[in-house]
Amino acid sequence: TQTFKVAVLPGDGIGPEVMAEAIKVLDAIEKKYDVSFDKTMANVGGAGIDNDGKALPEKTVETCRQSDAILFGSVGGPKWETLPPDEQPERGALLPLRKIFGLFCNLRPAIIFPALTGSSSLKEEVIEGGFNILVVRELTGGIYFSEPKGVETVDGVKRGFDTMMYTEPEIERITRVAFDVARKRGSKVCSIDKANVLSTSVVWREVVERVAKDYPDVELSHMYVDNAAMQLVRWPKQFDVMLCGNMFGDIISDEAAMLTGSLGMLPSASLAEGSFGMYEPSGGSAPDIAGQGIANPIAQILSASMMLRYSFSMGDAADAIDKAVETVLNQGYRTGDIYQGTSDEKKLNTCEMGDAIVAAL
Ligand code: NAD
Ligand code: IPM
Ligand code: MN
């Protein structure tokens, strides 16, 4: 029996609620496959602040270091929004985790399940036949991390500033991931930038063009981010891999998620060089529905599936989870966010949805 060490960081809001369901699914995988998951829970975000005095306690980092992968819930919420920005869950824990572990590559697959065409915000004829978009988002550079950034007062006028910078090596390594993965799917890369305004984008485009020469079999296009946001809702099927810098990828991936029915459907893998990764839903702690047990656990469960696929090379088990999710959706099971109110649907809470997916496994 192979054993994998998993650091489990449920975090805040709906994080612990959806994490419980992902754990159920991992337990079911242990019974079905010759594998064992050695899970260690650790506090992060608001839970870290409340229990250990900071958003990213040292022992949480240590637990992650000793693990083969991190399964992450979500962090943040109104309770911690008045703390100094660097102490808050997002800037105090999530971003440092990405940086510490070198998680430069964020994969966010937006796939419409046939059963959910009615839950998408787009007209059925626009999404008929489905779409399968992979947002490849650079995750440890760009405007999120470049220095200097801060708040200062000059001549009595307060101002905030951020720096957006990308170096050639940073652009090249994420571009190679996008082209490598495109080869295994639709062989198209659309690089998203704002090269008509931003210097970072001018360099971005240059590097992408250069890397593309090594992939003559992959079709490359470039699109300005404002147009891309529009094209996504106009005709999502035109996209295969969307290659983005950190901030554009953040925005484009939420938009792509909604096209699949709900942000609660979109998983993500944040990968380092090698097999280590952190697996996190693309959405947040959803304070508006937290504590009610009604959140959609599918993004968290599909994130666990990505962990099996990318960090543990368990493609079969990952396929089985993805298939189980599709099965329950075909059976009409829905959490509130993807519920349309038709007679063939059954509305489930978070826990019931987890149980249904385990049963389908
Ligand atoms: P959000 O993603 O938490 O919520 C946006 C909307 O999507 C809400 O209406 C929410 O109910 C819905 N939603 C999200 N996930 C859902 C799910 N699984 N099931 C059903 N509905 C779901 O974004 P927000 O409201 O802008 O941010 C709330 C907090 O989460 C903030 O503190 C933000 O910084 C944080 N956040 C954290 C992460 C993360 O930890 N990875 C990601 C995004 C936002
Ligand atoms: C995400 C989130 C984070 C991001 C925030 C919470 C820092 O929105 O994972 O998409 O912007 O990367
Ligand atoms: Mn986001």
- pTM of the model as a whole: 0.97
Q: How high is the ipTM of this complex?
A: 0.98
Instruction: Report the pLDDT value the prediction gives residue 286, as an integer from 0 to 100.
Output: 98
Neighbours of ion ligand 3 (CB under 5 A): 250
121-259 has CATH 3.40.718.10 classification: yes
CATH 3.30.1360.70 fits 1-113+263-361, yes or no: no
Place of tokens 């839903």: 281
Residue ranges of the chain assigned to CATH 3.40.718.10: 1-113+263-361, 121-259
123 catalytic? Reply is: no
Question: Any binding-site annotation on 78?
Answer: yes
| pLDDT computed for residue 118 by the predictor | 87
Residue 98 and residue 236 in contact, taking contact as beta carbons nearer than 8 Å? no
Ligand nearest to the CA of 143: 2
Mean pLDDT of each 10-residue bin along the chain, 361 residues long = 97 98 98 97 98 98 98 98 97 98 98 90 90 97 98 98 98 98 98 98 98 98 98 97 98 94 96 97 97 98 98 98 98 96 96 98 96
Q: How far is the CA of 331 from the centre of ligand 2 (A)?
A: 32
Tokens in use for 192?
């998203």
The verdict on whether residue 250 carries a ligand-binding annotation is yes
pLDDT value of position 119: 87
Q: Confirm or reject: Cβ of 225 under 6 Å from ligand 1.
A: no
What number does the ligand 2 atom closest to the CA of 250 have?
Answer: 10
Kindly give the distance from the C-alpha atom of residue 74 to the centroid of ligand 2, in angstroms, as a whole number. 9
